[in-house]
Structure 1
Amino acid sequence: MSDQQKQVMALSRVASQISADENIDELLAGLIRSACEQGAWHLGSIMSVDLAHGYALVLTRYESSMLPQQTEDRWELATSPCLIALQTREPVYIRDALETTQFPGYRREAKVRGYRTVLVLPMTSSDTAGRPMVLTVASRAVREVGEEDLAFMSAVVQLGAIAVERAHRHRAQTQANEQLQRIIESQRTLLREVLAGESLATLTVSLGDLLDGPVLVVDFFSNYLLGSGSPLPSIYDDAAWAKWLTGAGGREFVPIVRDAIEFQRKSSVVLPIGQGSSVEATIQPLTIDDELVGALLTFGEGKPSDLQKLMLESVSFALSVQLMRSVIRFRIETRTLTELFFEIVERRWRSEDDVLGRARHLGLALTAPLRMIVIDFPGPAGQGTNLTVEGHRTVTMLARQQNITMHVVMVGSGLVCLLPDEEDSDATALTRLGQQISDAVFGTFGCAPIVVLGERFEGMEPLAQEWERCWRMIRVARNYGKTGFLRMPDLGPVPILMGAADSADVRIFVDGAIGKLIEYDKRTRSDYLQTLSAYLRSGCRSQLCANEMGLHVTTLRYRLSRINELFHIDVESPERRFAVELAIHLHQLTGTH
């Protein structure tokens, strides 16, 4: 048999010896044993290179001699050829370790263990900690290493690298399967707890155990926080953390988390936890019918794996189901009164006695004198629902603190508060309440609402009329950019004029004065109404108006002549000018466009 055939047979034996091992430690031990036996080396080792700490660590050894030997399991990279082999990706050949001056560590050990020639080969695989590895073999006699020897040992190392990568994949797959089974069992456990009606506190503790770390559940409907374990034990232990969450500091988390989800669209948030410290948390929104009802916060560094993401989805689903109960309870309490309110203000009732009876069943006496406070929550799209829900709780709390009886109705992006107004009622109490509502909403949510206090009324039809009057005031306040607690004098004479005028008459007047011009602008996308409004604001002074609009005065006069020609609108006389200016003003306020 030729030398080439012997090497092929030797490689075959190496492959067969290491292919059966799935455990990485056993595989590496088999690899170095096969490399020494088939390559005619007396001893060898496989080492991992810890670049961060500057050491090469022995993972496994092979020794042909059965005599006990003094060995060294950690080598400084400065005295080891391992780093050179990894950097150059080439074998390092030491012909005689007893004579080498470049690697004094090998010279010392060669005297103790009795070896001479050393060959260090870089491996293309890594250990279980992700560190690169090298394979080292040694001979007890000085040995010349030729090209065939290097090729054979390189092939052995390559076979070992393939086997190691296969073992890594097998290990990762096994761990993934075990984790998947844990996730499936966790899903069953969570659903059993939810269906059994366990409390949110019990469920939160289970979540902390399942995710193997601290978690924080935020309930936006009740402004409630529940934590399982402290994210910073050096500052708060578990008991201190739970106490801190129930205080003022913990309550600040709710708007911070909601803002991060709804407006900043972030998947993580930095939470201030007092004592000049903060902690970063990953956010998992909790929704019901696309409505944000809460959030799950997890602490810890690192991007979650696919299986961990699956676990978080399962946990989020269980929490959403749990929070759905509080949402349903809240909606049942508010829906009935809201439906009754709209039936009255839209005048859809058939039997007045039936409506009065249903109102009495809800504790609302419509035949007694009442006052109305209407609250409008301006803000970006999507924010109104949460503000209304949390504003409901804020308003109810303020009324309870002042011992004021109140029925709160959710109306779109606002609230209507119906309050008894007896003869001996404190007239200033409602004013104080309205101002406090405005201040509390602004301080909590960072946006100023419009709060309107209505007049005294009694009965169903007066309730509908008072709602229309308050809503007109809110619409005027919106157009003028006014916020806060408002009364009729705060808005000037315009709302008084609109309140006295019938809305149908207002529309007829606006249509007759400038209706054709509005329709023409809408159809042709022209800006004749803007030009006419600017001209009136400038006191019908052409040059001043042209300067404000950035036009040449000839262009402005041409537009005015076209307005007169097309729509027969002439503003030269004071009476006609007043009528057109009033129509434009009412058009902007009533939104007839």
Structure 2
Amino acid sequence: MESQLLSEPPLQRDETLRAIRDIASLLNANNDYYGLLNRLVSTICERLTWSRSAIMILDRAESLSRLVAFCDKDNVFDPQTVSWDLVSSPTLKVAESGVPLILTNAQNDERFPGYREFALRHDLDTIVLLPLSSTDQDGHEMVFSVASTQSVEMGEDALDFLLTISHLISIAVDKYKLFQAEQAVNNGLRALFESNTGLMDLVVGGCTFAELVEAVRRQLRLPFAVSDELSDSFIWSTHPANIEDLDKQMRRDAVDQMSRKLRDLILRQEMHNSPTTIKMELPCLKAEFDVIILPLLVSDQTVGGLALFPDKHRSGELDLLLAQGAQQAFSAYLMRMYAPWTQKTTAITSFFSYLFDGDWVSFDQIEGMAQRVGIDLSFPAHFVAVDLLPVIAESMALCHSIEAAARQIIPNCAAFYENQILFVYFPEPKRSGAKTISRLVEEIRSQVKWRTEVAVTVTCSTPCQSQFDFKQVRSHCMQVFRLSRMFQKTGYVTMSDFGSLAILVSALGDTAMTNFLNDVLSPIIEHDRKKNGSLLECAKAFLDNACRYQAAADALGIHVSTLRYRLKRLNELFLLDLENNEDDRFALSLALRIRQLRN
């Protein structure tokens, strides 16, 4: 049987206004969601001539039309009939078309078998279904219906009235959802305040790092990891879901790889005190993760980081606010841990600066100062020095981690900065001294390389045999670094790597040396580049073979006359007479040697 619009006598004005007033009074109701829906359909049954009223949702995931609110004037309700197959239900047609559907003589309408069976069971004749413009709390589409055991002829006014009712129901649902959202925000902000206060109370109360991580884990819904570079620790709360699903060995490998990548990101990323969202690839899983990094700062230096793994279905602004509260708590914890260490390091730095200056009065005075700052002044003693000036700024996390790593090898060592040089001081080990010192140097190089990802210069001082050697040892380290910068050497470097010529040239200074190379070599190099020539190669071969023509020509694989011509061109173009002028030969030879040292 087809649906149709039939003429019906209009509702009396008083009844209409009373029904609208009662439904409108529910617009500001803030009781529970299903209580609100049931009050709406009950009011419709009480004030109108319809014997039944209901609200359904479209559960597309389960392919069902579900009954969520129902009223029956005759108190006849079949609890077994709470859902229908969505495809064969009229609710799907109403929701997708956005147009009301009127079923007259519903007991004989074969288009919707589930509804026909329902109409037969409850002796229903006329059913009207209207779309609602709102969705429920989970985003499901909604349909409102009324039904009667009598045949009802629907006129235009009666349908308009039901459309008005459906519009009021939609407003009521939307207002309730808005109220609930506001309540959720208020509750979230209250929880955020309590969370931040609770975390800070833990920090002030002297909790351990693991206890603070556990407290944050209970409050954050997202997987996270936190890094404490001052104590060289890295802790996970839980792992992202696609890692948790792996078998034990693969999960261990994935976590190890991800931990290293996260620590690299935290240490090397240019970050301020704001969250940074990045993509992180994990080759072992062939997967990519969104990661939010919140740096942990102490005195404007990154000393750790909080890494969050957001879930687009679960995480929101409140989660980020909770994470920022956790970030503040972790930073406060690290500041509490850092304060005693930085006081001690400042005292050690002042002590060694005083010792390096050599202005002290007596060794007893020096020894007393050493005892107060916890320095073992046993002799002989050494320094391992790292030149950070060309590449990075001083980092307390780097200094702290290097000292911690060094103490695993030599327990009574101490690390400090002076003028962008990181020094590690230690008395000479009593057993296997050279081997232990070599291990220490390699460990320091490894730490610096891993944490900075730059090539730096490291050197080990000559031994300090007495208190009078400290000033000279410091000068020795500084000279190694000056030569390294001048000749662009990195890695582990000692004075023997340069030779007497380099030491002699270094007295000129880097600017004078660079100007000398530019004056002598640059014009020849530029000429060869433009003309695709080999004048400099010929000149070097001539000098390397003690200015012997045949030997130089043989080394170059050219005729002697060709060599003589090129030497003549050198003199014509650049006033370098290598055949007759000893000063010119010395200047070019020196320039070539300096360039070799720099390379």
TM-score interval (norm. to shorter): 0.7 to 0.9
| CA–CA separation in structure 1 for the residues paired with 2:119 and 2:378 | 107
Q: Using a 3 Å threshold, how does the CA distance of structure 1 residues 235 and 212 change in structure 2: closer, same or farther? A: closer
- Give the aligned partner of residue 262 of structure 2: 257
Q: Indicate the SS of the match to 2:56.
A: strand
Q: Which aligned pairs between 1:44-193 and structure 2 lie closer than 5 A?
A: 44-69=53-78, 72-193=81-202
Number of the residue aligned with 1:489: 496
Relative to structure 1, is the Cα distance of residues 407 and 296 closer, same or farther in structure 2, using a 3 angstrom cutoff? closer
Counterpart AA for 1:546: K
Q: Which letter maps to 1:339?
A: S
Contact map agreement 1:123 1:161 (CA 8 A) in 2: yes
Q: State the alpha-carbon separation in 2 of the partners of residues 414 and 444 from structure 1.
A: 16
- Residue 339 of structure 2 is matched in structure 1 by 328
Relative to structure 1, the CA distance from residue 377 to residue 60 in structure 2 (aligned partners, 3 Å threshold; closer, same or farther) is same
CA displacement at 1:80 relative to structure 2: 0.7
Match of 2:327 in 1: 316
The Cα shift of 1:46 comes to 0.1
1:349 equivalent to 2:359? Answer yes
Q: State whether residues 254 and 285 of structure 2, in contact with CA within 8 Å, keep that contact through their aligned partners in structure 1.
A: no
| Structure-2 change in CA distance of 1:330 and 1:361 (3 Å) | closer
Alignment partner of 1:301: what SS?
coil
- TM-score, length-scaled by structure 1: 0.76
Does the C-alpha gap of structure 1 residues 326 and 367 become closer, same or farther in structure 2, counting only changes over 3 Å?
closer
CA drift of 1:135 comes to 0.4
1:248–1:328 distance in 2 versus 1, CA, 3 Å: farther
1:416 aligns with 2:416: no
- Structure 1 residue 221 displacement after superposition: 0.6
| RMSD of equivalent CA atoms | 4.5
Secondary structure of 1:138's counterpart equals: strand
> Which of 470, 473, 477 does residue 463 from structure 1 map onto?
470
Query: What's the counterpart of residue 210 of structure 2?
Result: 201
Q: How does 1:517-556 map to 2 (within 5 A)?
A: 533-535=521-523, 538=525, 543-547=527-531
CA distance in 2 between partners of 1:159 and 1:383 (Å): 66
Structure 1 stretches lacking a partner, 5+ long = 516-528, 550-568
CA distance in 1, matches of 2:393, 2:315: 29
Q: Which letter maps to 1:190?
A: L
**How has the CA–CA distance of structure 1 residues 96 and 382 changed in structure 2, closer, same or farther, with 3 Å as cutoff?**
farther
User: Partner of 2:409 in structure 1?
Assistant: 398
Determine if contact 1:17/1:30 at 8 Å carries over to the other structure.
no
Aligned-residue offset at 1:382: 6.1
Aligned to 2:381: 370
Given candidates 12, 17, 27, the residue that maps to 1:9 is 17
In the alignment, the residues of structure 2 paired with residue 494 and residue 7 of structure 1 have an alpha-carbon distance, to the nearest angstrom, of 111
Q: Which residue of 1 aligns with 2:555?
A: none
| CA distances 1:376-413 after superposition (whole Å, capped 9, x unpaired) | 3589656955434322322232334xxxx534333465
Is 2:28–2:175's contact at 8 Å kept on the other side of the alignment? Answer: no
- The structural deviation recorded for 1:250 is 7.2
Contact 2:132 2:166 in 1 (8 A): yes
| Structure 2, unpaired ranges of 5+ | 1-8, 534-573
Amino acid at match of 2:423: V
| Residue 553 (structure 2) aligns with | none
Q: Does 1:306 align with 2:313?
A: no
Q: Distance in 2 between matches of 1:465 and 1:288?
A: 35
Q: CA–CA distance in 2 between the matches of 1:514 and 1:298?
A: 52
Measured against aligned partners, the alpha-carbon deviations of 1:147-193 in whole angstroms (never above 9, x if no partner) come to: 22221111111111111111111122223222322232233322322
| Cα distance in structure 2, aligned partners of 1:440 and 1:70 | 70
- Bigger mean CA deviation after superposition, 112-121 or 254-263: 254-263
Q: C-alpha displacement at 1:146, in angstroms?
A: 2.7
Partner of 1:556: none
Identity %: 23
Partner Cα separation in structure 2 for residue 197 and residue 235 of structure 1: 32
Structure 1 residues 43 and 460, CA gap change in structure 2 (3 angstroms): same
- The 1:428–1:163 alpha-carbon spacing in structure 2 relative to 1, beyond 3 Å, is closer
| Mapping for residues 255-294 of structure 1, pairs under 5 Å | 255-264=260-269, 266-267=276-277, 282-294=292-304
The answer as to 2:523 corresponding to 1:510 is no
Question: 1:356-389: CA deviations, max 9, x gaps?
Answer: 5424554657694433322235896569554343
- Superposed CA deviations along residues 201-246 of structure 1, whole A, max 9, x for unmatched, are 3322222223356654321111123455676699599xx99xx99x
Q: How many residues align?
A: 538
Letter in 2 for 1:323: L
Provide the secondary structure at the position in 2 that maps to 1:79: coil
Deviation at 1:492, TM superposition (A): 4.8
Shift, 1:84, TM fit: 1.5
Structure 1 stretch displaced more, 163-172 or 224-233: 224-233
Counterpart amino acid of residue 350 in structure 2: E
Indicate how the Cα distance of structure 1 residues 428 and 355 shifts in structure 2: closer, same or farther if over 3 A, else same: same
CA-CA distance at 1:134 after TM superposition: 0.7
The letter of the residue matching 1:12 is I
Contact 1:453 1:487 in 2 (8 A): yes
**CA-to-aligned-CA distance 1:304-346 (integer Å, 9 cap, x gap):** 433333322222222221111221222123222222223344x
SS across alignment from 1:373: strand
Aligned equivalent of 2:551: none
* Change beyond 3 A, Cα 1:378–1:39: farther
Query: Relative to structure 1, is the Cα distance of residues 232 and 16 closer, same or farther in structure 2, using a 3 angstrom cutoff?
Result: closer
| Gap change, CA 1:5 and 1:412, over 3 Å in 2 | farther
Amino acid at match of 1:394: A
